[in-house]
Chain A
Amino acid sequence: MDRIADYQFIQPLGQGSSGAYYLAATPPRLGIAAEHVAVKVLQVAAGDEAFHRLTRELRTFAKVRSAHLVTLYDAGQEAGQCYYAMEYLPLGSLAHPAREVTRDGAIRAVACAARAAHDLHEAGMAHRDIKPANVLLTEDGAKLSDLGLVQILAPGQTITGLGAIGSVEYLDPAIMRGERASRSSDIWALGVTLHRVLTGHGVYGDLPDRDPLLAVRRVLSSPPTLDPGLSEAEAAIVRRCLDPDPAARFRTAAELADALDALGSAS
């Protein structure tokens, strides 16, 4: 596709779990200076109700004041397809950085994402889809992008079946089972994200890309294991994020961010 609404697409930016991202020229009606915006076009055909829930969720997200959340500009739909437009950050994500990310840079980026998650939590929202691809890099850190929307668009569903199956490894198994999202489920995802960016490996080994059934089964049935490449301090943080008892994890994402900052300054 080459456009939606009044967004003329310049190039595709990739595929997410519920839709595709495009780089688009900024329509004048947004009244913003940036030349480009990122537009996500949702693949799921949404009915009235789902669209209503979607815009409500996005409005709530947009109202959260946070230095570490990507700014949303506009949400809408055309001919049955929903989209939303947000700030475009050209440096890429932790999953696909535009330039090499140092270990300290990676830790700083996850800390920023944790602060963003905390700001969301304080506003009453859980993110539900924290993963390296949603941690967008900036010159001095990172911003957390997007939201897990699957349960908004299709109540009861917890994984869309779109996008890379690998993203199931970041999901707190509780969320996969359909339990209530919470601070602790986002903290879980931040822990897996940290593990992935520091070691290059997931906490379930390499999940079989071609076999979603097996991937989901492994996430649900096997405990996460930590890569020996982590330093003791790093491992301690990841382990605490992944504690099976949610009450034993960091109490808030801000506490996790503080721990990460301390780690960064210590090294």
Chain B
Amino acid sequence: MNLAEGRLAPAGGGDGLVARRPGAAIFVAARHPVDDVNALMAAFSAATDPAPGHQLARALARIVGDDSATGLPGFAVVAATPGGLYVKVYGGVEVEVHGAEGTETLSGVGSLTGVDREITSDPHTVVVHRAGEPAPATAFDVDLSAGSIPGGGFALTTLAGPADAPVGPAPESNAPDAAADVAVEPPSDAAMGPGGAAAVGTAAVEAIGDEVTDGPSGAMADPTADDTMGVHTDDAMGGDGPNVADLAPGSSLEDPTQAWTAADVAAATGSEGPGAEPMGDAEPMGDAAPMGSAEPMGDAAPMGSAEAEGAADDGRDVFWGASAAGVAAGPPPTDPPMVDPPTMVGPPSGPPGLDDLPVVGAGALEGNVRDFEALPVADEPPATSEGGADADMESMAGSGGAMADSGIGGSMADDGGMSTAPGPADAGATPAGDDAFVAGIVPPPAEEISAEVPASPPSTPTPESAFAPPSGFTSQLLGALDSDEIDERDALPLEPEPSEVRQADQVTSEVMVQGVVCSRGHFNDPRSRFCSSCGISMVQNTQILTNGPRPPLGVMVFEDGSTFSLSTDYVVGRQPEVSELVQQGLALPLPVDDPERSISRAHAELRLVDWDVHLVNLSGTNGSFVWDEHAQQWIAIPEGQSVMLTPGMRVALGRRSAVFESSLVR
């Protein structure tokens, strides 16, 4: 296999790391201990030979043989050699090598120094995953061509299409679903307006195009393929959008689970198994022409082949396709459990009103998506041909942030009581060294760097704030502290002032608002009928407005139970520190994530205005939604716009959901 031409699809599971360079790929099964991971990544990026197999073999042997590397995580490396392919696997990781002669599995399990081999039989696909976990699916339109990304393994293939791919993961989700899932979306997208519909059109056409690829029309790349795509995408949007809106949006919205399954993303990125069957299904689709006409399908066919053109192009198609699917996958995320637990169980059957669409029977969907790990797709459709690279950057920045997080410690050095225990406190592993680990592989362009800088902790580590050295830690003995030492506090007040009772805990910026005071002196929302502190009725009170510090306005409760006090503005997202509001101290970061990356870095803002909480949607991709109890449907908030939350209202951010609870107005 020519490794440099292979397509690498990282597998979901954010706690490992996948990195790629032209002649080699590595998977490290954990991101701790940091120093061992660093050593592996350093060896990987130092092997610059076009066929670095031998170079890497020696370097990895040194790392594995190093006494100090006691916690070395499992890893696997695949690298080109002049005569074939070098594979090394260590720890709880397995490598499957698929070739014309069959499949060979190398496992690091049970070996003390790992297993390595030079493979000369010219395999076409190499799949790397943690031992005991399902092998990731081969994907033909996803390619990490360079850089690093969090992941749970990878599948690397030189095959052009799924026809002769290894059959392994296919049963989990098969190609017909691609058509079914994507085609099913439009109604649920209706709420998103034209933009959403456009995305749906694109996703549908792309997915179909991919399937057709390995059919008879899967010819050579057609330079006009993209244009053709564009035209028909418009057709699809124009012709389909309105119909879609007619299709009883409410009813399809009730079953959002399906629209948000990981398989949708996977389906639209064409990561499915054998393609024999999908062909048959794709044709009727063209005939019935619900998506515009039959031609788009045929014309779109070259799309798939066009992927062979090169990584950059590929990247664009891929990530656009993937993110389009994300959007198409639709607004209403998994229903919050409290409302309709049964929908959590599995994909629902097809929504009513779509029966006339020639999609694959929705029954085929059932049960085939549960174990599927989503591919980590980029959040936003890259607008330029650097798309693929952008996505790489973002992932790298992600790991960068994570690593930076681990680099705490240092600032404690100036704290009198701190000592740096056993390990050498040398600056050998400086933050810079760490940066090299993440960024060294593909240096991001300058503007990317500046955009990412805020992601690191606000207080810049001092020079002596070295990474914890191997087997090193910082510690502070608490056993014999002088009672007159720092930070002597006053006793808590015996009888707090009634006006202070409701004040927010630890919020530095106090916001004054107008309110009314109950007969016991507690400050309340002027609309309240009962005091929210002591419950006393305020109906009889003369409504005299006075100024006072605003108490917390309620809480946001996420579906895992994590709860945030609405005592200040928040930016909610995967990396909310990138937001200017957070950097300027005007909002607190509220980090949420999901393994499928449906959350943008700064996804939404919770903004307190007087006595009300507003949800501002900042995400152009996966969107923010509120549940309209009256209409029984999710309402998309246009980007940059906001909705005022009412107590009990459910909100959805990407696939995460939360409820606004407040007892202030009753």
Asked if chains A and B come from one complex, the reply is: yes
Query: Measuring CB to CB, which residues of chain A are less than 8 angstroms from any residue of chain B?
Result: 4-6, 29-32, 45-49, 51-52, 55-56, 58-60, 62-63, 65, 71-80, 84, 121-126, 151, 155-161, 165, 168, 173-184, 210-217, 220-221, 244-247, 251-252
Complex partner residue of B492 from A32, A76, A182, CB under 8 angstroms: A182
Interface centre among A55, A71, A76, A176 (most CB of B within 10 A): A76
Q: Specify which chain B residues have a CB less than 8 angstroms from the CB of A161 in the assembled complex.
A: 558, 560-563
Question: 19 other contacts beyond A121-B491, A180-B503, with CB at 8 A cut-off?
Answer: A30-B477, A31-B479, A73-B477, A74-B476, A74-B479, A76-B421, A76-B476, A77-B468, A79-B32, A123-B491, A151-B505, A176-B565, A178-B552, A178-B555, A214-B338, A217-B338, A221-B661, A221-B663, A245-B535
B521 to chain A: closest residue by CB: A247
| Contact status B475-A76, CB under 8 Å | yes
| Contact status A79-B475, CB under 8 Å | no
| Contact status A80-B489, CB under 8 Å | no
Q: Specify which chain A residues have a CB less than 8 angstroms from the CB of B594 in the assembled complex.
A: none
A84 to chain B: closest residue by CB: B478
B464-503 toward A: CB 8 Å interface, digit per residue (1/0)? 0101100011111111011101111111111110101111
State whether A244 and B491 are in contact (beta carbons under 8 Å apart), knowing that A48-B408, A158-B563, A213-B336 are contacts in the complex: no
A255 to chain B, nearest CB (A): 10
Q: Specify which chain B residues have a CB less than 8 angstroms from the CB of A157 in the assembled complex.
A: 562-565, 590
Q: Specify which chain A residues have a CB less than 8 angstroms from the CB of B218 in the assembled complex.
A: none
State whether A158 and B565 are in contact (beta carbons under 8 Å apart), knowing that A48-B411, A174-B502, A178-B552 are contacts in the complex: yes
Q: Specify which chain B residues have a CB less than 8 angstroms from the CB of A31 in the assembled complex.
A: 479
Q: Once the chains are docked, how many angstroms separate the CA of A72 from the CA of B487?
A: 17
A65 to chain B: closest residue by CB: B483
State whether A247 and B563 are in contact (beta carbons under 8 Å apart), knowing that A72-B478, A74-B479, A217-B659 are contacts in the complex: no
Q: Once the chains are docked, how many angstroms separate the CA of A150 from the CA of B505?
A: 12
Q: Once the chains are docked, how many angstroms separate the CA of A53 from the CA of B522?
A: 30
B425 to chain A, nearest CB (A): 13
Complex partner residue of A180 from B338, B498, B504, B659, CB under 8 angstroms: B504
Query: Does B74 touch A at the CB level, under 8 Å?
Result: no
Can you show 6 pairs from A to B with CB atoms below 8 A apart? A30-B477, A32-B479, A62-B481, A159-B557, A176-B565, A216-B557
Q: Once the chains are docked, how many angstroms separate the CA of A57 from the CA of B411?
A: 16
Q: Once the chains are docked, how many angstroms separate the CA of A245 from the CA of B458?
A: 40
| Contact status A220-B663, CB under 8 Å | yes
Interface centre among A45, A121, A176, A216 (most CB of B within 10 A): A216
B482 to chain A, nearest CB (A): 8
B321-336 toward A: CB 8 Å interface, digit per residue (1/0)? 0000000000000001
Complex partner residue of A56 from B32, B33, B487, B557, CB under 8 angstroms: B487
Q: Once the chains are docked, how many angstroms separate the CA of A53 from the CA of B280?
A: 63
Within 164-217 of B, Cβ neighbours of A (below 8 Å) are at none
Q: Once the chains are docked, how many angstroms separate the CA of A220 from the CA of B554?
A: 10
| Contact status A55-B408, CB under 8 Å | no
| Contact status B407-A80, CB under 8 Å | yes
| Contact status B421-A5, CB under 8 Å | yes
Q: Specify which chain A residues have a CB less than 8 angstroms from the CB of B153 in the assembled complex.
A: none
| Contact status A45-B406, CB under 8 Å | yes
| Contact status B563-A176, CB under 8 Å | yes
B468 to chain A, nearest CB (A): 5
Stretch at the interface among B127-135, B228-236, B437-445, B566-574: B566-574
State whether A49 and B564 are in contact (beta carbons under 8 Å apart), knowing that A73-B479, A74-B475 are contacts in the complex: no
| Contact status B405-A45, CB under 8 Å | yes
Q: Specify which chain A residues have a CB less than 8 angstroms from the CB of B410 in the assembled complex.
A: 48
Q: Once the chains are docked, how many angstroms separate the CA of A4 from the CA of B472?
A: 10
Q: Once the chains are docked, how many angstroms separate the CA of A29 from the CA of B490?
A: 33
| Contact status A48-B459, CB under 8 Å | yes
B498 to chain A: closest residue by CB: A247
Q: Specify which chain B residues have a CB less than 8 angstroms from the CB of A212 in the assembled complex.
A: 557, 559-561
Q: Once the chains are docked, how many angstroms separate the CA of A65 from the CA of B481?
A: 11
Q: Once the chains are docked, how many angstroms separate the CA of A65 from the CA of B500?
A: 29
| Contact status A6-B422, CB under 8 Å | yes
Q: Once the chains are docked, how many angstroms separate the CA of A126 from the CA of B489?
A: 11
B484 to chain A: closest residue by CB: A63
A160 to chain B: closest residue by CB: B562
Q: Specify which chain B residues have a CB less than 8 angstroms from the CB of A80 in the assembled complex.
A: 32, 34, 405-408, 468
B517-555 toward A: CB 8 Å interface, digit per residue (1/0)? 000100000000000011110000000000000011011
State whether A55 and B552 are in contact (beta carbons under 8 Å apart), knowing that A63-B481, A176-B563, A251-B495 are contacts in the complex: no
Q: Specify which chain A residues have a CB less than 8 angstroms from the CB of B567 in the assembled complex.
A: 156, 178
B551 to chain A, nearest CB (A): 6
| Contact status B562-A76, CB under 8 Å | no
| Contact status B561-A59, CB under 8 Å | no
State whether A245 and B534 are in contact (beta carbons under 8 Å apart), knowing that A159-B561, A161-B558, A214-B338 are contacts in the complex: yes
State whether A158 and B564 are in contact (beta carbons under 8 Å apart), knowing that A180-B505, A183-B492 are contacts in the complex: yes
